[in-house]
Chain A
Amino acid sequence: MRAGVITFPGSNCDRDAAVALAACGAAVTSIWHAETELPRLDLIVLPGGFTYGDYLRCGAIAARAPVMAEVARRAEAGVAVLGICNGFQILAEIGLLPGAMISNAGLKFVCRPVDLEVATDASPFTAGYARGQAIRLPIAHHDGNYVCSEAECRRLEDEDRVAFRYMDNPNGSTARIAGVLGAGRNVLGMMPHPERAADPRLGGTDGRILFQTLLETLG
């Protein structure tokens, strides 16, 4: 699998994502946000961080970066796109995923491992988990409170596009949503950090399954 990890000004989990992918055997390329063309890729990762300081709105300025037009085209064409934390916020800002993120209900940054339920196994990201499986991944964000309209929320449920749900809602998200899939199921945005649970030394390997699954499903 060829994976590209995009670095925006202020990305800070780009290396972590690349390390986790490489450990699973992916060939990882680092991509600068100013690029307008991309090499052939099976997976595009928008990593966590504070792009543009998260000023204005989280992910808002990065969503308008030159590289994003091409990311959107690839997503349309079916390439897998994974947005983690700030990457999820960017995908929502650019409209590749529904909804938006506002400040955590507790108004504080929260960094801790949380318990999640894998809400669907029907995607190239989650096929390696069992539907309903309980997993534990760290979160680390200030604005992870997922907001979407009731109608949108119903649609996500109907189309089985909620990927992960918090067991114990740490940020006030609508319907405890921690991760959602795009309509084509090839785009996933999630607030928890799978790359921080991919090395047994760091506590837990529940996130590693996601990367291994991508390798298996995308070759």
Chain B
Amino acid sequence: MAIAADEITPELIAEHGLADAEYERIVAILGRAPNLLELGIFSVMWSEHCSYKSSRHWLRRLPTEGPQVICGPGENAGVVDLGDGMAAVFKIESHNHPSFIEPHQGAATGVGGILRDVFTMGARPVALLDSLRFGAPGHPKTRYLVDGVVAGIGGYGNCVGVPTVGGETTFHGVYNGNVLVNAMCVGLVAREQIFYARASGPGNPVVYVGAKTGRDGIHGATMASAEFSEAAEARRPTVQAGDPFTEKLLLEACLELMRTDAIVAIQDMGAAGLTSSSFEMAARGGVGIEMDLDRVPTRETGMTPYELMLSESQERMLLVLRQGAEGRARAVFAKWDLECVAVGRVTDSGAVVLRWHGEEVARVPVAPIGREAPLYERPHERRPAAVPIAALDVAAPLAPGEALRRLLGSPDLASRRWIFEQYDHMVMGDTVQRPGGDAAVVRIHGSNRGLALTTDCTPRYCAADPVRGGMQAVAEAWRNLCAVGARPLAVTDCLNFGSPENPQVMGEFVGCIEGMAEACRALDFPVVSGNVSFYNETDGQAIWPTPTVGGLGLLADLDHMATLAWRHGGLALVLVGETFGWLGCSLYLREVCGREEGAPPPVDLATERRHGELVRSLCEAGLLEACHDLSDGGLYVALAEMALASGIGADLRLPEACDSPTAWLFGEDQGRYLLAVAPARLAAVEAAASRAGVLARRVGTTGGAALTLDGGDAISLRELAAIHEGWLPALMGTP
């Protein structure tokens, strides 16, 4: 064989992030030492990012099936059935490390990547969401990172013309050295027109389309799998830059070609582009692929096979076409001004064979690279359970009104308008519920049905109690979907953690998955896609466990969608669910008392389900004027958010015997909703609740231009709005 023998030194192996045992396995698979190119291929395919070597074992615990699931984990994105011949394709992915190094390009290329994961399956992307975790507001890098990440996400999505309709943003010092940027994309496709990344048909051409290849982000995949150090930050690897314009052309060209029968398989080139796309498509189809790398379109001169296989240049796809369809593909891509080059063909050799000017430069069997990929059951340590805090042990240093002011202007509760107004959230003309509500709602084009979308996680709960935190993240996503009147269908998740080599981090990971799995099962809310991001730590300092949950639900009739805002005074405010006044781990405890401690609120999944189903049925029966779920900050904050969205105030009545008004107002008990109900419908709502065995009691009335408590302690909405809207612009220095 003509494959050149490179000298593979222990240093080279270590630089490629491969353990000695992993290297030995490579030698065993090949029956010889790899050359440098092959070493590079194994290093990316066996990186944490691509192989899930530390997480695979545990991910199996997540429920992934249900009658609504068309395609679960394993493809580029998950697919769920929407009825009427339509399906939703969706996935969430992290771009944490790149965004820390270059916030604008890092976040932008994160959006680009997740868009491609969705349209590679034949779906037109219809919505983007972003879940963002930044360091402490006062940290010297935070402003720069917020500014760059938001501009990057907006700059990309706006240009491609897919609305960014939702997400979440929180701040905490544990993210100072590792911000999290998780981007979720949702697409729509006719059930019969879903495309998969399964290569087949020996002889079929393998075609490269999209942008040219440069030296972008070589080793990005291994970078995303190694923990940060100050030195690495200084080393500044080549960041990949995005071109949303080319992405838009690629999107249109791919969807246009997909309307013909030219495509057998298609996959985006994500991390370690040409390597992962060729190996994964071959593996799924049980075939081989041979490629002539000298045919790959390049942007720079003198690129080597190693660089071509490892480059992370953006806006590229690899296609397997039917024989004879090349001409049609070339015409479509030429129309959109994009490269379209046959670089190889499908074979029955079961190996990926790479040639360079006719000479074979690599030969790697496909099946073993997956089958024999390392799988680690790393040691994990459970942490002792956090101690609950009794409500009566919490001081009330501020009067309720003052505490509310403090909370509404605090980093995690202040308005996100400064962010979402930089995103075009209306393009495509179907955004029925804009950012700011419990879930975004995007109409299924040309119909009266809608998709409800949300991302959720409360990392401080996960840090205090991973199992409960994982459960809560799923429950909150589910609740947010119910709150707009949607039927929750499925989940995509992005598991952001520190180093899996640290048993405590691994313990958090295992705990969160257990909690999530239990909640997904109890709520019939299967996981259909996701992503794991480990090594979010700097100099040994790990982030909080942050399992972001992206939820998708279906609204069968948009006429029955609920929103936060009521439109009249004189409506009854009805609180669904029981209030125990759980202050442990609450924002009240942190922002008002300066304490970050205690156990997070328990999650009772049966109750959660009963309450959500009741609220949804009330929406469907048209009985609600407004609806909001209760989460961070509890009842009083939820009420204020509703009043601010409405521009109409409300009066809240404390219960007769209330031991701790603070706990009642600000406790974060789960499974609760606040409803606004017209007086004429109140009896019907109460009857429905009692039939369902759900506690629903009247707690106040809408009206006026202020929030009042038992008729007193008035805070004008104007003042609250100034506090709520003021914080983020002030932080960013752009009033």
Contacts and interface: CB of A to CB of B under 8 A. Distances in A.
Direct contact between A and B judged by beta carbons closer than 8 A: yes
Interface string A187-212: 00000010110010111000000000
Contact of A202 (B160, B161, B420, B431): B431
A41 to B, nearest CB: 22
Contacts of A13: 161, 427
Interface string A12-38: 110110011000000000000000000
Contacts of B501: none
Interface stretch (B244-252, B470-478, B510-518, B677-685): B244-252
Interface string B397-429: 000000000000000000000001111111111
B429 A195 contact: yes
Q: By CB atoms of chain B within 10 A, which of A16, A53, A54, A112 has the most?
A: A53
Contacts of A202: 426, 429-432
A124 interface: no
B336 interface: yes
Interface stretch (A66-74, A103-111, A158-166, A173-181): A103-111
B159 A10 contact: yes
Contacts of A109: 151, 154-155, 158, 421-424
B233 interface: no
A161 to B, nearest CB: 28
A140 interface: yes
Contact of A50 (B151, B248, B426): B248
Majority SS of interface residues in chain A?
Answer: mixed
Contacts of A49: 161
Given A15-B428, A16-B429, A111 B248 contact: no
A55 B245 contact: yes
A201 B422 contact: no
Given A50-B158, A53-B159, A202-B431, A10 B423 contact: no
Contact of A12 (B248, B337, B434): B248
Contact of A9 (B154, B336, B421): B336
A44 B358 CA distance: 53
Given A108-B734, A112-B421, A16 B428 contact: yes
Nearest to A140: B424
B558 interface: yes
B243 interface: yes
Listed residue (A12, A15, A142) with the most chain B CB atoms within 10 angstroms of its CB: A12
A54 B154 CA distance: 14
Contacts of B431: 202
A109 B244 CA distance: 15
B336 A110 contact: no
A49 B159 CA distance: 7
A112 B420 CA distance: 9
A19 B243 CA distance: 28
B245 A196 contact: no
Nearest to A20: B429
B160 A201 contact: no
Contacts of A20: 429
A19 B734 CA distance: 36
B616 interface: no
A140 B435 CA distance: 15
Interface string A47-65: 0111011110000000000
B443 interface: yes
B432 A52 contact: no
Contacts of B160: 12
B432 A201 contact: yes
Interface in B424-450: 424-432, 434, 443
* Leading 7 A-B pairs by shortest Cβ distance: A12-B161, A53-B245, A16-B429, A50-B159, A140-B424, A109-B422, A111-B424
27 contacts: A9-B245, A10-B248, A10-B249, A12-B161, A12-B428, A13-B427, A15-B428, A20-B429, A50-B161, A50-B245, A50-B248, A53-B243, A53-B245, A53-B246, A108-B422, A109-B422, A111-B420, A111-B421, A111-B423, A112-B421, A140-B426, A140-B427, A193-B426, A195-B429, A196-B426, A201-B432, A201-B443
Interface of B: 151, 154-155, 158-161, 243-246, 248-249, 336-337, 420-432, 434, 443, 558, 734
